[in-house]
Amino acid sequence: MASAAGAGRRPYEGRWDGLWLLGPLLLFLAALLGFPAVANLVYSLSEVRFTGLWSPRWVGLDNYRAVLADPAFWAAVGFSARFAVAVTAAQLLLGFALVLALDPLIARRRWLMAFLLLPMMVSPALLGVMYRLMLNDFVGVIPQYLQMVGFGDNLLGVDWAFTTVAVIEVLQWTPFAFLALLTAYQAIPGELVEAARIDGAGAWAVFRRITLPLMVPALAITGFIRFIDSFRVFDHIYVLTGGGPGTLTQSLSIYIYRTFFQQERIGPAVAASMLLLLASVVVLRLLMAQMLKGSRQ
């Protein structure tokens, strides 16, 4: 009888059932994300001031040309790219190393995860304030101890500012990479590792031929998430250095903030943010294409 009922059903009869269920969510997302996206696109193509947000003057691609011709924009892009690559590589390496070293211990004492994830729970702005006090030349704890061993350089000066903000980013967000990679590592079938050891494979062979290949997708996804998040970094760098000394640590997000609020150049600031969004979409598309290509192989 079930087959007869199925045979009498018209083709594509339930095709729109899922759309009816998803309709409210799609409308909510369209209102939440669609309106800001359209507004940003309009503002990026217009000359607008805070006193006349509802009456923008159309200027076409002039804002994009102004941003692309601004040396400060390219300096901010260069800093953000170098910063994101450096901290993402460090977080992946440290996170993976911690996974390999601590997995047996965490399997026996899972409550240790709470302490390992504590740095990630602190607000980046609050973390910036904390390190600003700790790195202060007059009252900071860290400079005082470094002076005891003969290191008297200013860690927020020209020579060390980039390294300092990068190390703080790594200390805060390595737990995220650790958590994501630990989940993927624990999902590796134990039968594969056991079979390899029975066949005489050593620890290095198991890591190189089983563990690492199976961890590549997790490493790629975690790396992409951390790269995007580090590329648009704002909070702790702005609190620590304000983008200085000069513009040495000015990220793209700080450049957009200064252009928007301090210089009141809303059009170029929104144009720069649209370029950042476009770059993120392109990187995501390339990564997804590479992952799909790898899964088909």
Neighbours of 137 (CB within 10 A): 13
What totals of helices (H) and strands (E) does the chain contain, helices first? 16, 2
How high is the pLDDT of residue 53? 75
Neighbours of 6 (CB within 10 A): 8
Q: Kindly indicate the confidence band of residue 204, based on its pLDDT and cuts at 50, 70 and 90.
A: confident
Q: Kindly indicate the confidence band of residue 82, based on its pLDDT and cuts at 50, 70 and 90.
A: very high
CA-closest candidate to residue 245, choices 134, 79, 125, 86: 79
CB 184 within 8 A of CB 218: yes
Mean pLDDT of 214-230: 89
Mean pLDDT of 267-292: 82
- Does residue 277 carry a pLDDT above 70? yes
- Residue-wise pLDDT for 136-146, tens only, equals 878 888 888 88
Arithmetic mean of pLDDT over the chain: 84
- Does residue 15 carry a pLDDT above 70? no
Query: pTM of the entire structure?
Result: 0.83
Q: Kindly indicate the confidence band of residue 9, based on its pLDDT and cuts at 50, 70 and 90.
A: low
pLDDT higher for 124 or 6?
Answer: 124
CATH fold, domain 80-251, is MetI-like fold (1.10.3720)
How high is the pLDDT of residue 120? 84
Give the start-to-end residue ranges of the domains of the chain. 80-251
Give the whole-angstrom CA distance, residue 35 versus residue 224.
27
- Does residue 13 carry a pLDDT above 70? no
Neighbours of 273 (CB within 10 A): 21
How high is the pLDDT of residue 145? 87
- Does residue 2 carry a pLDDT above 50? no
pLDDT higher for 248 or 285?
Answer: 248
How high is the pLDDT of residue 20? 77
Give the whole-angstrom CA distance, residue 175 versus residue 188.
20
- Does residue 11 carry a pLDDT above 80? no
- Does residue 108 carry a pLDDT above 70? yes
How high is the pLDDT of residue 1? 46
Mean pLDDT of 195-201: 82
How high is the pLDDT of residue 169? 93
Q: Kindly indicate the confidence band of residue 283, based on its pLDDT and cuts at 50, 70 and 90.
A: confident
pLDDT higher for 17 or 36?
Answer: 36
How high is the pLDDT of residue 291? 67
- Does residue 71 carry a pLDDT above 90? yes
| Degrees, nearest 5: CA angle 63-65-70 | 95
How high is the pLDDT of residue 163? 92
Helix, strand or coil, per DSSP, at residue 46: strand
How high is the pLDDT of residue 297? 59
